[in-house]
Structures are given as structure tokens and as C-alpha cells.
Structure 1
């Protein structure tokens, strides 16, 4: 068994492999670390590129495109390591990116997972939207980050360089104990893609397993390389999976209220898309709600199982406020303004 397995899930990303894999190979060349690429049945020349240009990288060839969630489940089932690193194919890593995370988990057995500081590959002095310096959640399931609230992304001036507990670590660069990954049930393959890492982290936090951001490790993420932000299919997956995540993980005393408010907010979002000319995205939101209700019964057993395992009733990294209200009505545009709203 190796100490660390860095596993990159690839689908039709041969050019991204050529661009970003060299940094991963170069800066992960330490004892006990293996680099894998798991190919999700690509139809481009990804496998031949790996074989010819990156012979040191271990390959896992999947027989079909299982999406992000189940693709990783099936790939990681073929890997033996103490720690897994789930790394997007559009991430450029930096020298010594692994060591701070290895050291932290080695010395903090109560912590299940961590992530590095995620900066934008295009604007390297700014945080990256999907992860920044660690993820948090509001009462109604809206994720935000230390370094990004809604669409406002902060510049990195070292203001978040302290190690802090977070609610979720981004799937773009998720460092996790293999034992915790499997004990929590892995990523939910039914999600296909989007929100699956937040769902996994919620299960871990509910069982009082820690998740932290280690800013001493730095990577640069392109972001949106598979589905662009405005893509209606991405809108559909984000809204549907967010509702399913809430249903799976909300304590019973919160469920009815939160889901009612989310219904109102989702219809407001659909109307907002329509007014901006985004008919396809409006339809995606409505279709997401329809499919949530169609799938709800299928997720009932998962919810019941999660409720039985809860040992941390109140998760400190979740604010009992609406980030939408704080952003649009209270003028909160950066994470440092949120301190007074956190549960203590």
C-alpha cells in the first residue's frame, strides 16, 4: 500500500493532460506517492497520450463514462493507499503541494480530509470560484467559500492563510483518508457530477470528522473545463443535486422549513433566469425540482442511514442564515465580513 495516491479522473481531456500533468508528476515525485489517471471511457486520444507521453503514470481504464462521482468510486476501488487525492485534470500544482497536507493528517487523526488553497489559473493572484480557501454552507444549502461569496471572488493577499476547519473541501483537489472515504460510503454515484463532494463532506462532518483547509499548499485551477458555468445541464445538476443533498443530510427538525424556503428561492432563481433571457437555464431549474421529487423515494434509505449516524447535531461551519440575504440585503461581499453570523 502506498502512502498517497493522486488520482486524476479524465474524460476527453488529452490536451489538459498535456498541459497540467507534467506539474503533477514533477511535484509529486516523493517517496510513497503514486500518480494515477483514471480514464472515464474517453473517445479522444487520452489513453494513447498517457501511454506514449507519460509512461510513469499508472492507468485505470473504466469501461464507460460514470461521471465524476461514480467514476472516482470505481477508480479508487482499484487503488490501495492510506490517503487519496482527488485531483481535477485542469489543476496545476506547485512545489511541495503534498507535504503540508500529509503532515497535517499524519498529526491530526480527528481530521478526515483537507484541501489546499485553490487559486485561479487564469488570474493567479485571485482565489478560484470552486473551492478558494475552503467551503462553507448556509442554512438553505447554498455553498460559499473563504475567498468567494456568490460571484464575488477575492484577491489572495494572504488574508486566509491560517489553517481553519471548513464544512466542505473542493473536489478539484480533495485530500482524504481512504478509510474515511469508504466508511462514509464514498461519493454518491447517483449525483453523476456536482455537489457530490459537499454531500460527502456533510456526511463526514455529521459524524464529527474534521475537514480543514491547508493554505500552505497551493494549486491553480482552471475551473469550468468540462461544463461552463452558464451551461443549462450544469444548472440542472447543481439544483437537483443540491436538493437531494439537503434531503439526505438535513436533521428532521430542519427539513420541512428548509425545503419550503428552498422551493420559494428556486422559483425566484428560475424567474431571474427568464428575465435575463436565460430560458434554457430557467427550464433547467424547473426540471431539477421535478426530478428531485421523482428521485426522492430512491434516496429515502440513504437519508435514514445518515440520520442514524449523526453524532454532531450542530455543524459549526454552517451559518444559520441565508447567504443570499446577507449578500443582497446586508452587503456582505467577502468572507471576513461573516464572522458575526457564525454559530458558536
Structure 2
């Protein structure tokens, strides 16, 4: 088996169906195993996969266990030399999967590879960034950016000046379509489940980076990506708060407690400034009391995150991992 493809789905059947259909052409040239993990969808996703795609291995969870655990469930069942994380809101162009597998065959130094992701209108998606080092966090995720939104470090973080017209190393590719060498992670666990939705991919990239290995971007293959159609896109208004909380957790794991505490202080101070500014706008009639109440609740969640980053470092899942068996097996 060349490639095992893991797709974690939650209430996105209208996107998952064309994704699965596209893999008929997308996997031409390689032998592929397709695994769909359904996280308790209420839109009939599991039943539809079972009846319309009988060749697909289905793992139907009773509840939404998160992207990280769902991916680990698929990874535990994978048999290919390579494992492809694929979002349900993608459509693989013909030969896309084979092109990524071929790149890894020809580039032994690559830990993994992503391909060219495009919007529905065909334009290129720039969703590749660098790892969140201190200079980038300060420049992008704190009040510093309010004073210089187009600063040098923000440009570096988002790789604004990189052409992406050739194969190149990328610190943080998009996990919407990412192929990894399974030999690098021989056990049943790929992602740290203490990052259920956000930053599980960033944590993976950091672990690879710390081992002296690199991920690559290759323009050879192409995948259409309906950005925001998957789990992260369904997070709603609190997405930015969850992002900052997980960034603090990421720093706790990789940089230590003191670094995480300092980052939390920066975010909390920024929240205070935002609320004070909002209060002034409420007094001037530019914003409503309802907005201020809602924003205060969101920012209080961020302030309370100090209680959530006191766990010890490591990649062992917070709950002992037992891979769910796919339907039809004992």
C-alpha cells in the first residue's frame, strides 16, 4: 500500500461527497486506502459513506471527539507507506495524491509534503506560515500589530514575499492536505490530543522541526480547498479566543511554563485594552452594551486559560488512547 488517506468529518456531507468522488482520479498512479472518521455527524454523513462508498473504511464515533483524536483513529488503521491528512472540504485534482507520493519518493530529506491549494475560483491559497516564534507572536498576535499592521515580521510569518512557484521547505504547511512519512511515527498516535482542534498540526510541525527534519511545498499537485468548510471554519465567533488559548498551551509545551505565563499576560493586557476601547465606543454610541457584554465573556475565557496550561510537556494523549475499530471488524 502506498498511501493511507485519513479524513475527519463533522456535519459536512455536502463537501465530503465530492471530496471522496475526487479521490478516484486523485489517487491514480498509487495504491490508496481511504479512511473516513465521522465525529457523530447529525447530517447522515456516516450512513451516506456506508451506502455510497462501501470501499471506504468508516469509523463512526458517537460524538465529536475532535480533529486530533479522529486523525489518530485513522492513523492507527493506516497501512500505507505515507499518510495523507485530508480535509473533507477539499477536491483532489487528477494525480494530486500520486504527485505528493512521488515527491516523497524522490526527496528522502522531506518529512512530509503539501501541494498547491487553490480557491474555487482557481486562485492560489496562501495559507502557509512559519512556526510561531516569539518575534512572530509579538508582531502578529499582540497589540503591537495595531501600531504597525504590515510590519516586517508579519510579512515573514505569512511568507508574503515567497513566490511558491517551485518546491521549497515550509515550516508550517496547511494540514488541509498534508502527506507524512509513516516511518517517522511508527506508533498509533500522530497528533497530541491535548490540542483537539487547533495547534495539533503546529505541534506536529514543531516536533518534526526539533528532529532536524523539514516539510515541503510542491507545486506539482493541485487540490481545491473550500477554506473554512471544515471543523475550524465551524468554530464561529470564539475561534480567535480558542486560537490564543491553544497558542498559550503550545508555548507551555515547547517553551516552558514561564514563557506561557508571559504570553498569557500579554494576551490578557491586550484584552483589557480592547475592552477599555470598546467601553469608550459604547459611551460614544459607536457600539452597544450587548457587544461589550459579549466581548467581555469572550475575553474572560482567555483570561481563565492560565488554569489550562499547567499540564506536563509530552505528546501522550490526555486520555489513554484506544483506537476505535472500523465497522465490520472485531
Whole-angstrom distance in 1 between the partners of 2:246 and 2:33: 32
TM-aligned CA deviation for residue 237 of structure 1: 1.9
TM-aligned CA deviation for residue 64 of structure 1: 2.8
* Residue aligning to 1:315: none
TM-aligned CA deviation for residue 4 of structure 1: 0.4
> CA 1:238–1:289 in 2, change beyond 3 Å: closer, same or farther?
same
* Residue aligning to 1:249: 254
Partners of 1:35 and 1:57 within 8 A in 2: yes
TM-aligned CA deviation for residue 213 of structure 1: 1.0
Matched position secondary structure for 1:19: helix
* Residue aligning to 2:321: none
Partners of 1:94 and 1:219 within 8 A in 2: yes
TM-aligned CA deviation for residue 288 of structure 1: 2.6
* Residue aligning to 2:284: none
Whole-angstrom distance in 2 between the partners of 1:25 and 1:281: 46
**TM-score normalised per structure 1:** 0.72
**1:162-173 maps to which residues of 2 (within 5 A)?**
162-173=166-177
Whole-angstrom distance in 2 between the partners of 1:289 and 1:233: 14
Matched position secondary structure for 2:2: strand
TM-aligned CA deviation for residue 229 of structure 1: 7.8
2:239 to 234, 240, 244: 234
Matched, 1:73 2:72: yes
Matched, 1:94 2:93: yes
Matched, 1:207 2:219: no
**TM-score normalised per structure 2:** 0.74
TM-aligned CA deviation for residue 206 of structure 1: 1.3
TM-aligned CA deviation for residue 88 of structure 1: 0.5
> CA 1:267–1:168 in 2, change beyond 3 Å: closer, same or farther?
farther
* Residue aligning to 2:122: 124
Runs of 5+ in structure 2 lacking a partner?
Answer: 142-153, 282-286, 316-330
Whole-angstrom distance in 2 between the partners of 1:8 and 1:74: 10
> CA 1:161–1:50 in 2, change beyond 3 Å: closer, same or farther?
same
Partners of 1:113 and 1:169 within 8 A in 2: no
Matched position secondary structure for 1:7: strand
* Residue aligning to 2:36: 37
Partners of 1:134 and 1:166 within 8 A in 2: yes
Whole-angstrom distance in 1 between the partners of 2:22 and 2:210: 35
* Residue aligning to 1:137: 132
Matched position secondary structure for 1:301: coil
Matched position secondary structure for 1:188: coil
* Residue aligning to 2:310: 297
Runs of 5+ in structure 1 lacking a partner?
Answer: 144-148, 304-344
Whole-angstrom distance in 2 between the partners of 1:58 and 1:51: 9
Whole-angstrom distance in 1 between the partners of 2:171 and 2:272: 26
Deviation per CA, 1:145-187: give whole Å up to 9, x if none: xxxx69xx999xx931111111112121111112324579621
Q: Which has the higher contact order (CA 8 A, sep 6+)?
A: 2
Deviation per CA, 1:210-249: give whole Å up to 9, x if none: 1111122211111222454882332232111111112211
* Residue aligning to 1:216: 220
1:286 to 297, 300, 304: 300
The CA RMSD over aligned residues, in Å, is 3.4
TM-aligned CA deviation for residue 18 of structure 1: 2.3
Matched position secondary structure for 1:15: helix
Partners of 1:119 and 1:126 within 8 A in 2: yes
Matched position secondary structure for 2:314: helix
Matched position secondary structure for 1:59: strand
